[in-house]
Amino acid sequence: MASSADIFAPGFQSRPYWWEAYEPPEPGEDALPRHADVVIVGGGYTGVCCALTLREAGIDAVVLEAGRPGQGASTRSGGQMSGGVNVQKKALAAVGESPEQRETRLAARLRDAAASMRYVESLIERHRIDCGWQKTGRLTTMWLPQHYESWKHRMDQLNACTGSNARMIPPEELGREIGSTVYHGAALIEQAGHLHPARLYGGMLAAARAAGARVQGNTRVRAIERTTGGHEVHTTRGTIRAQQVVIATNGYTGPDLGDLHRKVVPIATYMIATEELPPDLAASILPTNRAVSESRRVVNHYRLSPDGRRLLFGGRARFTPASEDTTARLLYRAMLKRFPQLAGTRITHSWGGNVAMTLDAMPHIGGSDGLHYALGCNGSGVAMMSYLGHSVGRKIALRSRDPINAFDMGEIPGHPFYFGNTWFLFAIGSWYQARDAYDHWRAR
Ligand SMILES: Cc1cc2nc3c(=O)[nH]c(=O)nc-3n(C[C@H](O)[C@H](O)[C@H](O)COP(=O)(O)OP(=O)(O)OC[C@H]3O[C@@H](n4cnc5c(N)ncnc54)[C@H](O)[C@@H]3O)c2cc1C
């Protein structure tokens, strides 16, 4: 077995594997316009999809990105895409809500979550985005036997609301899907798969720019001030007046943008890429090439690379700031626990990025008086955040005051004692990790 010292392949890189094929472009130094109908803060999927929709409606849109366009989570993710699965898992009952009301609310969210995947598929098709989208299906692998039972009860509603074509895979049949013995069965969602997230971003950015959107990098928004008839957006490169502003900063939302940073908790999440594997070894791990995500509290997720030759393995390796070397070692250990046959395989890339969690575990769109937001991916935003950016753009174009979809649900809930400092994550994350390990040991 490789010791922690020799897990790194020669030429190992602390940056996303995806950037070998598409790297976030240089920001450029174009002069900032002095005025725009809509200024969008944050240049990831959410921001560029919002800009694309606005431009298609003939509305002037400028995206301001603090660094290089796409440098946030959008070019760093695992590239797994599905509609609806996570929403159902996290749909907690609201205070004072009857079971019927909860079911109705959940069904509406599931339908919109399914629409999010269709939206991204339609963009890929319409703009001929070469991002290796493969509808291979996605497995949620069960960490505990009781997870299998609870997922079984969700299948009917999931299929009825999303058309996901989902079914349970019992433990004795799981060997056909995955070369690991640590799981207690799985749920298979056929209407799901994986893509190259950075190439998807590149295609979306090109589509938004071709439609006339200006996407300006190296421009951090420092403050947003309401004025009569609009807003003044103060940036590191000057001030822009805008009638409306959209905040699309997800896991990178800072105190510059008002109170929102108290509503979305940034959590770092990490990935590694293995060196190219012999074809029979790659096939022994994921013979059906599905995307995989686990039912644990602290989730690990993985898939093969678009060419099927590497394993890309991710998770919340650490809850305090850590180097890519450290997180690579932690993820490597987790990978070998699931796939001991990978012992001796080396890692070529290790990277991380931020996702944004909310107290109700739901993504949100909302806002008032011309200041909108789309935030809170809760770890899963390739489809959802793209769709929410598009939805905010539609809402502005339609001049609508009504909710545009089931995620347009008023204020993001806050916590009176959360001020944007994430000191507590270490304690909670470590406790969840310990519980995952203990429960799994007991179930064997
Ligand atoms: C390692 C990892 C794996 C993931 N895997 C998956 C997956 O397999 N499937 C899935 O669905 N989701 C996954 N996600 C989540 C997904 O990547 C995100 O939900 C999605 O990219 C969010 O897009 P976004 O545009 O909202 O935010 P981002 O892409 O993060 O963009 C926000 C941008 O805002 C900019 N910004 C912040 N503050 C300012 C400011 N003041 N002024 C100007 N700009 C600012 C930042 O620089 C950043 O570029 C993963 C995320 C990570 C990090």
In this predicted structure, the answer to whether residue 102 has a pLDDT above a threshold of 90 is: no
Q: What is the pLDDT of residues 225-251, one digit of tens each?
A: 999 989 999 999 999 999 999 999 999
Q: Is 269 in the pocket of ligand 1 (CB under 6 A)?
A: yes
**Mean pLDDT, the chain, as a whole number?**
92
Alpha carbons 7 and 369: distance in angstroms, whole number: 53
* C-alpha 201: how far from chain center: 13
In this predicted structure, the answer to whether residue 417 has a pLDDT above a threshold of 80 is: no
What distance in angstroms lies between residue 207's CA and the mean position of ligand 1's atoms?
19
In this predicted structure, the answer to whether residue 400 has a pLDDT above a threshold of 90 is: yes
Highest mean pLDDT among 249-263, 280-294, 314-328, 357-371: 280-294
Give the predicted TM-score (pTM) of the model. 0.94
What is the second-level CATH architecture of the domain 4-443? 3-Layer(bba) Sandwich (3.50)
Q: Which of 250, 271, 358 to mutate to test the pocket of ligand 1 (most atoms within 8 A of CB)?
A: 250
Query: Which residues are registered as beta bridge partners of 353?
Result: 269
Q: Is 250 in the pocket of ligand 1 (CB under 6 A)?
A: yes
Which stretches does DSSP call E strand in 149-281? 166-169, 186-189, 192-194, 214-216, 221-227, 230-235, 238-247, 265-274
What pLDDT, on the 0 to 100 scale, is given for residue 92? 55
Q: Is 62 in the pocket of ligand 1 (CB under 6 A)?
A: no
* C-alpha 317: how far from chain center: 16
- With tokens 């004025």, the residue in question is 227
Stretch 43-60: mean pLDDT, rounded? 98
Least confident residue range of 33-37, 99-103, 155-159: 99-103
What pLDDT, on the 0 to 100 scale, is given for residue 1? 42
What distance in angstroms lies between residue 248's CA and the mean position of ligand 1's atoms?
9
Instruction: From 360, 408, 412, 406, select the one nearest 101 (Cα to Cα).
Output: 406
Do the Cβ atoms of 256 and 223 come closer than 8 Å?
yes
Q: Is 73 in the pocket of ligand 1 (CB under 6 A)?
A: yes
Q: Is 202 in the pocket of ligand 1 (CB under 6 A)?
A: no
Atom of ligand 1 nearest to the CA of 219: 43
Helix-, strand-, coil-residue percentages of the chain, each rounded to 5:
35, 25, 40
What distance in angstroms lies between residue 65's CA and the mean position of ligand 1's atoms?
12
Q: What is the pLDDT of residues 375-389, one digit of tens each?
A: 999 989 999 999 999
Domain ranges in the chain are 4-443
Atom of ligand 1 nearest to the CA of 45: 25
- pLDDT-derived band of residue 88, with 50, 70 and 90 as boundaries? low
Stretch 143-165: mean pLDDT, rounded? 92
3-state DSSP assignment of residue 439: helix
What pLDDT, on the 0 to 100 scale, is given for residue 333? 96
Residue nearest to atom 49 of ligand 1 (CA): 72
The token pair at 30 is 């174009």
Q: Is 233 in the pocket of ligand 1 (CB under 6 A)?
A: no
The token pair at 330 is 């932690």
Least confident residue range of 142-151, 292-301, 416-425: 416-425
Q: Which of 133, 220, 377 to mutate to test the pocket of ligand 1 (most atoms within 8 A of CB)?
A: 377
Contacts of 274 (CB under 8 A, 6+ apart): 310, 311, 312, 313, 335, 342, 345, 346, 347, 348
Q: Is 381 in the pocket of ligand 1 (CB under 6 A)?
A: yes
Atom of ligand 1 nearest to the CA of 270: 1
Return the higher-pLDDT residue of 425 and 201. Answer: 201
Alpha carbons 312 and 235: distance in angstroms, whole number: 37
Q: What length does the chain have?
A: 444
Residue nearest to atom 4 of ligand 1 (CA): 77
Taking the chain, what is the end-to-end CA distance rounded to the nearest angstrom?
Answer: 24
In this predicted structure, the answer to whether residue 79 has a pLDDT above a threshold of 70 is: yes
